[in-house]
A and B are shown apart, each in its own frame.
Chain A
Amino acid sequence: MSTSHASPRETTEGTVYTVTGGDWDEVVETAAKADDERLIVNMGPQHPSTHGVLRLILEMDGETVTEARCGIGYLHTGIEKNLEYRTWTQGTTFVTRMDYLTPFFNETAYCLAVEKLLGIEDQVPDRASIIRVLLMELNRLSSHLVCIATGGMELGATTIMIYGFRDRELILDIYELITGLRMNHAYIRPGGLAQDLPPGAVDQIREFVKKMKKNLPEYDKLATGNPIFKARMQDVGYLDLAGCMALGATGPILRSAGLPHDLRKAQPYCGYETYDFDVPTADSCDSYGRFLIRLEEMRQSLGIIEQCLDRLQPGPVMVSDKKIAWPAQLALGPDGLGNSLDHIKKIMGTSMEALIHHFKLVTEGFRVPPGQAYAAVESPKGELGVHVVSDGGTRPFRVHFRDPSFTNLQSMAAMCEGGQVADVIVAVASIDPVMGGVDR
């Protein structure tokens, strides 16, 4: 009955053996009957060594991968369609769940695009922009930490994973203090922020920066010079500059090919042109170079965070236009919900119009003049672009996210073909795709 587990089937491509479990000896015996050594292995979509629900289809000759293809869409959530049935403000709740490791980048990119449509880029208060930068740089740290942690775990280096998640927890504590949530914040809103920093936040971030400066060198000690780590990563996942440009790869992949392209420098947003930081590059074009770039970017981010903290001046965090800003300065009530009792007293007691305005703004939302806009930010993975179309209504007509993970993942085949099967894991880990962003 050996054929039952690996039954041959004639196709236009030749004989195909479909292996579906069973006794391994029989499988090998049947496979040996084939006249070539080609073996097609389906990895995923549920697999511990792929980032999320990524499916890899590998054609192998022995241990060598001759062809590699990706199957994606296993986490397609229809977020772009859902956005079309919610107000512009509610949109942030959806976009934050796209690439769930970089929520603040999604929110900022979306809000920058909406602000461009509204024509209020110049009216966003400085404090809001600084806090956006602050949160984005914290987010860059936490995203890179997860990348290095899970990448290490996929290599079998569990210690790095424990280290990475240890430091990420410190950042999540800050998020929770500021936004109320560990992930999926919806804190950045078109026009500014949902609310101001709570008391104690600045001190906690300063404390964190101090601690992180001590912790970051541990990654160097543990991994950077580690011969096993280097042997697994060096010259693996090779993609040179021509390949990066053709495949549209951005972020650490592009910078590991030697091009210091970073939107924070090239097309600054949120006032990045006023911050002092470097764009690290490598010339090795490989996974190790990307790892080093991520480490260096984390150091640079710490520097930017310190600059943000020094700049923070008291002031508003939302545009002054009352047709866009929600009326209440939210304060946490005893019921755990955000309600400003003073504001409620005012609108219920003295101003019927304020009540109507509040009600309409929250339920119906504001209108955005028709047209389209594209805003891009440099997320930890590369260029995160948002294309927003408005038809003059209270809800987006179309929102499209150009997620860097989606584009970068295309380069998987170029990186893996011709290499060993074990190197596929390293290459995919160095791309750092997050399926929530890839599939949306």
Chain B
Amino acid sequence: MGLEEKLPSGFLLTTVEQAAGWVRKASVFPATFGLACCAIEMMTTGAGRYDLARFGMEVFRGSPRQADLMIVAGRVSQKMAPVLRQVYDQMPNPKWVISMGVCASSGGMFNNYAIVQGVDHIVPVDIYLPGCPPRPEMLMDAILKLHQKIQTSKLGVNAEEAAREAEEAALKALPTIEMKGLLR
């Protein structure tokens, strides 16, 4: 039928986007950004029993300049916020953020003067991970979902188009306060 059938064996066809996504997702370097309780669960995930190395994620980088994933693990205080943003700015593109735990995602139970009510006030978040703290399995699930997202992310013009669509969808979305119905 098409080109595929005329190829000699041992060849695979894919798009540049998929190839780039595949390469990217297989070598994500997380920056160590442990803050509180969740950081301990993050370390546990990297240790023996849960073994994050199975997903090529075990290389936690000390320097943000060598990392492309920031796992914000824990509550972000007002004093930490500028530091967090600076670390995020130092990371090279493309970069992703997992907001691990309810404190990082929304402030959680610490609804007070000291804690930033959601790290998305400071940096764009790709994956929100609930739990206090989330179990290591949940972190791995979040990482695998992020891998999926990286795999399907667009490049070049397509990326701009996707960003525009996301922006429009967000503008059209109903604010939570106007949502009706059961609380679930």
Say if the two chains contact directly (CB < 8 Å).
Answer: yes
B80 and A162 form a contact (CB under 8 A): no
Q: Could you mark each residue 400-440 of chain A with 1 if its beta carbon is under 8 Å from any beta carbon of chain B, else 0? A: 00000000000000000000000000000000000110010
Chain A residues positioned under 8 Å from B54 (CB to CB)? none
Closest to A86 in B: B109
* B93 close to A (CB within 8 Å): no
Chain B residues positioned under 8 Å from A93 (CB to CB)? 109
B110 and A78 form a contact (CB under 8 A): yes
Q: Which of B7-15, B71-79, B148-156, B167-175 is found at the contact surface with chain A?
A: B71-79
Chain B residues positioned under 8 Å from A184 (CB to CB)? 37, 132-133
* A210 close to B (CB within 8 Å): no
Closest to A164 in B: B47
* B40 close to A (CB within 8 Å): yes
A76 and B77 form a contact (CB under 8 A): yes
A53 and B115 form a contact (CB under 8 A): no
- A76-B77, A78-B114 known; A52-B43 Cβ under 8 A: no
A76-126 at interface with B (beta carbon < 8 Å): 76-79, 81-82, 93-94, 97, 100-101
* A166 close to B (CB within 8 Å): yes
* B20 close to A (CB within 8 Å): no
B132 and A77 form a contact (CB under 8 A): no
Closest to B61 in A: A48
B36 and A436 form a contact (CB under 8 A): yes
Chain B residues positioned under 8 Å from A439 (CB to CB)? 77
CA distance A149 to B4 in the complex (A): 53
Q: Could you mark each residue 162-186 of chain A with 1 if its beta carbon is under 8 Å from any beta carbon of chain B, else 0? A: 1001101100100000000011100
Chain A residues positioned under 8 Å from B35 (CB to CB)? 52-53, 75
CA distance A32 to B64 in the complex (A): 27
A165 and B77 form a contact (CB under 8 A): no
A74 and B48 form a contact (CB under 8 A): no
Chain B residues positioned under 8 Å from A289 (CB to CB)? none
CA distance A436 to B101 in the complex (A): 15
* B83 close to A (CB within 8 Å): yes
CA distance A93 to B83 in the complex (A): 28
Closest to B86 in A: A46
Neighbour of B60 across the interface among A48, A150, A182, CB < 8 A: A48
A78 and B83 form a contact (CB under 8 A): no
Neighbour of A82 across the interface among B64, B74, B87, B112, CB < 8 A: B112
CA distance A74 to B84 in the complex (A): 10
Chain A residues positioned under 8 Å from B64 (CB to CB)? 46
A337 vs chain B, min Cβ distance (A): 15
B37 and A169 form a contact (CB under 8 A): no
CA distance A81 to B109 in the complex (A): 12
Chain A residues positioned under 8 Å from B79 (CB to CB)? 73-74, 76
* B118 close to A (CB within 8 Å): no
CA distance A352 to B64 in the complex (A): 61
A79 and B110 form a contact (CB under 8 A): yes
- How many residues does chain B have at the interface if contact means C-beta atoms less than 8 Å apart? 35
Closest to A74 in B: B80
B33 and A46 form a contact (CB under 8 A): yes
* A237 close to B (CB within 8 Å): no
B83-134 at interface with A (beta carbon < 8 Å): 83-84, 87, 109-115, 132-133
- A74-B83, A75-B75 known; A82-B110 Cβ under 8 A: yes
CA distance A169 to B135 in the complex (A): 12
CA distance A150 to B32 in the complex (A): 14
Chain B residues positioned under 8 Å from A146 (CB to CB)? 40
Closest to A45 in B: B83
A316 vs chain B, min Cβ distance (A): 29
Chain B residues positioned under 8 Å from A45 (CB to CB)? 80, 83
Chain A residues positioned under 8 Å from B112 (CB to CB)? 77-78, 81-82
Please indicate which of the listed interface residues B40, B43, B75 has the most CB atoms of chain A within 10 Å of its own CB: B40
* B18 close to A (CB within 8 Å): no
- A77-B75, A166-B48 known; A52-B83 Cβ under 8 A: no
Chain A residues positioned under 8 Å from B62 (CB to CB)? 47-49
CA distance A79 to B113 in the complex (A): 10
* A161 close to B (CB within 8 Å): yes
CA distance A53 to B110 in the complex (A): 18
* B49 close to A (CB within 8 Å): yes
- A101-B40, A436-B36 known; A75-B47 Cβ under 8 A: no
B38 vs chain A, min Cβ distance (A): 9
Chain A residues positioned under 8 Å from B133 (CB to CB)? 182-184
* B41 close to A (CB within 8 Å): yes
Chain A residues positioned under 8 Å from B44 (CB to CB)? 165, 168-169, 172
A166 and B47 form a contact (CB under 8 A): yes
CA distance A78 to B108 in the complex (A): 13
Chain A residues positioned under 8 Å from B32 (CB to CB)? 46, 48
CA distance A97 to B40 in the complex (A): 12
Chain A residues positioned under 8 Å from B75 (CB to CB)? 75, 77
Chain A residues positioned under 8 Å from B132 (CB to CB)? 184
18 CB contacts below 8 A, A to B, read: A45-B80, A45-B83, A46-B83, A48-B60, A52-B35, A75-B80, A76-B114, A78-B110, A78-B112, A82-B109, A82-B110, A82-B111, A100-B37, A165-B48, A166-B48, A169-B49, A182-B133, A183-B133
Q: Which 10 residue pairs are nearest across A and B when measured between Cβ atoms?
A: A165-B47, A78-B114, A100-B37, A48-B62, A78-B112, A74-B80, A166-B48, A48-B32, A162-B48, A169-B49
Q: Which residues of A contact B (CB under 8 A)?
A: 45-49, 52-53, 73-79, 81-82, 93-94, 97, 100-101, 146, 150, 161-162, 165-166, 168-169, 172, 182-184, 435-436, 439
Given contacts A81-B114, A82-B111, 20 further A-B contacts (CB under 8 A): A47-B62, A48-B32, A52-B36, A52-B39, A53-B34, A73-B77, A74-B79, A74-B83, A75-B35, A76-B77, A76-B79, A81-B113, A100-B36, A100-B40, A165-B43, A165-B49, A169-B48, A182-B135, A184-B132, A436-B37
